[in-house]
Structure 1
């Protein structure tokens, strides 16, 4: 799994090959196929490990009695960092959920977190801490602002005549930028 993650990070999901993963792991390709069947199945295992490291923490934060905006700030910081370290995740998720056999994979996604976001928003709305807005639209906007740059990375690199180091710095700066946008969106 560590070898697969290394290859996915280095070559991206589409550029990764089972042979390359086997080579990095020091095993033969047949053994890799025996245990994981396909690149998709192997990636799902890597994906599961990544989301299990992040989303339970977010879930715990949304159970705390703190300001809604602070919960969203925590999410932004953690999610952008997760994507900076694993830039191949968004495209894999989109390709997988748009495939024929998506039902089992969708069950792995932290969909229930959106309910907690909406409930936490409603709590702060009642206390006058946030302005009235559609929680579903807010969640869509938040996800889009976090994920889009990673999906559009090749376009953005060309647009800004940037390299990977510059892009990574831009994404690191994006955390504060998104916090500013969120504050403006939520201010009562």
Structure 2
């Protein structure tokens, strides 16, 4: 498995700081979280955070960069495999769902930050990186269209939205889904996401990509 933290040159202390920052920012917001609190919960001194990241704004920027580049690296790893286009779709979807399920906090932070103009430049930089990742997916689907695996009539821009939208609709309504699916009390959300939800989304995306009008 690709270890992006190691590839990026992040040591254990930096990673712990980023993880604590992500949790606190998602729970209390950027403005509601102090560097002192981050340092205390990460069990480091404030000077170390300043040394590694500089300001609190730079800490947010580093967190967003770390998460976005981690996904980009995993995506490239999947698409470089010597497997079929449809198998790559399955793996790409699995990676996306696994990452969003494990890293839900970053989406909460992004949602909050996107509603303000306080740190707009940081969000804009993140959106540029996000567009770079989209271009990788777009290029892959275009290649599949050229060889006749994927339909020409595909709204590529909505593929990621379909994947993430389905996941978040499930996650924020999982108590309802527990009822209609008649889950056994011992069935965890993690188990359902990894098995049933991921498989459903894989089938959906492959159907969208191969359906001919």
Name the TM-score, length of structure 1 as normaliser. Answer: 0.71
Match in the other structure for 1:105: 126
C-alpha change, 1:43 and 1:152, in structure 2 (3 Å) is: farther
C-alpha change, 1:158 and 1:61, in structure 2 (3 Å) is: closer
What does 1:16-55 align with in structure 2 at a 5 Å threshold? 17-18=33-34, 19-27=36-44, 32=49, 35-38=53-56, 41-55=58-72
Count how many residue pairs are aligned between Structure 1 and Structure 2: 181
1:57 paired to 2:80: no
Shift of 1:180: 1.2
- What secondary structure is seen at the aligned counterpart in 2 of 1:52? helix
Per-residue CA deviation, residues 31-50 of structure 1 (Å, 9 max, x unaligned), is 75785433x54233233223
Cα distance between partner residues in 2 of 1:152 and 1:67:
29
In structure 1, runs of 5+ residues without a counterpart are none
Please, what is the CA RMSD of the aligned residues?
Answer: 3.5
Of the candidates 191, 197, 207, which is equivalent to residue 169 of structure 1? Answer: 191
C-alpha change, 1:41 and 1:148, in structure 2 (3 Å) is: farther
Q: Is the 8 A contact 2:75 2:92 kept in 1?
A: yes
Match in the other structure for 1:89: 106
Match in the other structure for 1:179: 202
Q: Is the 8 A contact 1:7 1:20 kept in 2?
A: no
Cα distance between partner residues in 2 of 1:23 and 1:150:
32
C-alpha change, 1:140 and 1:21, in structure 2 (3 Å) is: same
Name the TM-score, length of structure 2 as normaliser. Answer: 0.65
C-alpha change, 1:88 and 1:151, in structure 2 (3 Å) is: farther
- What secondary structure is seen at the aligned counterpart in 2 of 1:70? helix
- What secondary structure is seen at the aligned counterpart in 2 of 1:88? helix
